[in-house]
Amino acid sequence: MSTAPRFDRLLCGLRLVTLADAQGYGLIEDAALGFVGEHIAYAGPLSGVSAAARTQAREIECFDNALATPALVDCHTHLVFAGTRAPEFEQRLQGVSYTDIAAAGGGIRSTVRATRAADEDALFAASLPRARALLHDGCATLEIKSGYGLDVDSELRMLRVARRIGAALGISVRTTLLAAHALPPEFDGRSDAYIEHVCSEILPAAHAAGLVDAVDAFCEGIGFSPEQTRRVFAAAQALGLPVKLHADQLSDLGGAALVAEHGGLSADHIEFTSDAAVQRMAERGTVAVLLPGAFLCLRETRLPPIESLRTHGVPMAVSTDCNPGTSPLLSLRLAMNLACTLFRLTPEEALRGATLHAARALGLKDRGALRPGLRADVAIWPLQDPAELSYWLGGAGPERLYVGGAPVVG
Ligand code: DI6
Ligand code: FE
């Protein structure tokens, strides 16, 4: 009798990109993956699977030397919203800046108007195809933020829609409350009062409804001040919720250092982040989330401090920032390409950034690599070289995607 576990699913004919070690792809040729329930029970050479385990596996699938990677994790999206900002895209092409559009009542506020006007089913119908595009690009885990509702009802509606998307597609969705994204018109000139409303009404209501996995804020000249961000973080931490931050995207307000000081999960964007702040991130284990789609669309020129992040050993994640204003990007693989092309990440860093480090930016330790004990979230690609995941601009997604051991795509 074999003592090996009986696999619910055994995949063979694979080349594994395990990312199991601190460096390198962790490539294993002529390999197999065994799943038990929702988890990986075996990841290694096919020769390590006994004949008994092969014959006893409930399902066996053989591939033709396909590449298997951890399923992708998109750790920063704003994909639940109504309407588009295509007209503003045209304005920006005429030379009007993102900041000018925001100051004139457009920008985030125009999406807030459309999102508030949409009922839950309409919002779900508008948003689901965007999540599906990311799924077919290889993502089994998506983070989705609120932040286009800016009142109790509309913020909770956005978060419910995000959770419904996860259930409808059979993938993991992590929800982040971003009520401190922009000042709603009814609070014009009273940003402190709005922050108070976020802390005493919106956050407690969303938390009581069980809809919040983390709390985020937009700390920026056109967003909220470091002092206001501190108040949001204090309220979140009083409820035991992890924090993350849109930090130092357009200017250096010290956002990355602020979120690190709070032991936050991630500092996102960070184009203007200083070396000293990177040091704080390293000390507190705060992940750097790189968002090259927004960098591209805003035609930014100030690069995030990549070399400093490497030197200090800060894990770099890569994400789409999928949103209607600054990054209408529906492919995490394209974000990986942009991270390489624009930020000079290596394809290996980009892949780790869109899997293991992205999971870490969400506080998830159970995914992002191919190792026994981790979730069986696995993408199978018709590719030869793992660098191809960052190399192609567009093209077919994975031929198969397993989420918790079950095929969801292919
Ligand atoms: N930074 C971003 O990249 C998005 N939000 C933020 O704070 C942009 C959101 C939008 O323009 O709708
Ligand atoms: Fe964002």
Nearest C-alpha neighbor of 7 from the set 59, 48, 62, 51:
59
Cβ(323) to ligand 1 under 6 A?
yes
Determine the 3-state secondary structure of 232 from DSSP: helix
- pLDDT of the residue at 1: 43
Cβ(111) to ligand 1 under 6 A?
yes
CB of 155 closer than 8 Å to CB of 146 = yes
CB of 251 closer than 8 Å to CB of 228 = no
Residue 176 CB-half CA count within 13 A: 31
CB of 160 closer than 8 Å to CB of 211 = yes
Atom 1 of ligand 1: nearest residue by CA position: 246
CB of 209 closer than 8 Å to CB of 156 = yes
Tell me what percent of the residues of the chain surpass a pLDDT of 70.
Answer: 99
CB of 71 closer than 8 Å to CB of 140 = yes
Residues 28-65 pLDDT 10s: 999 999 999 999 999 999 999 999 999 999 999 999 99
- pLDDT of the residue at 99: 85
CA gap 5, 19 in Å, rounded: 23
- pLDDT of the residue at 104: 87
Q: Which CATH number fits domain 9-70+367-409: 1.10.3720.10, 3.40.50.300, 2.30.40.10, 1.10.630.10?
A: 2.30.40.10
Dist. CA 212 → ligand 1 center (Å): 19
Dist. CA 137 → ligand 1 center (Å): 22
- pLDDT of the residue at 15: 98
Q: Phi, psi (5° rounding) for residue 296?
A: -65, -50
Residues 305-320 pLDDT 10s: 999 999 999 999 999 9
Residues 3-24 pLDDT 10s: 568 999 999 999 999 999 999 9
Dist. CA 34 → ligand 2 center (Å): 36
Residue type, 340: C
Cβ(326) to ligand 1 under 6 A?
yes
CA gap 291, 297 in Å, rounded: 11
Dist. CA 122 → ligand 2 center (Å): 22
Nearest C-alpha neighbor of 72 from the set 288, 313, 386:
386
Instruction: Give me 392's structure tokens.
Output: 């192609």
Cβ(147) to ligand 1 under 6 A?
no
Cβ(325) to ligand 1 under 6 A?
yes
CB of 143 closer than 8 Å to CB of 74 = yes
Determine the 3-state secondary structure of 101 from DSSP: helix
73-361 has the same fold as 9-70+367-409:
no
CA gap 271, 290 in Å, rounded: 9
For the chain, residues with pLDDT lower than 70 are 1-4
Residues 335-357 pLDDT 10s: 999 999 999 999 999 999 999 99
Q: Which CATH number fits domain 73-361: 3.90.1300.10, 3.90.209.20, 3.20.20.140, 3.40.1350.10?
A: 3.20.20.140
Q: What are the domain boundaries of the chain?
A: 9-70+367-409, 73-361
Q: Ligand 1: which of 148, 181, 219, 253 to mutate, judged by most atoms within 8 Å of the beta carbon? A: 181
What angle in degrees, to the nearest 10, is found between the helix axes of 152-169 and 108-117? 80
Please state the atom number of ligand 1 nearest to the C-alpha of residue 182: 7
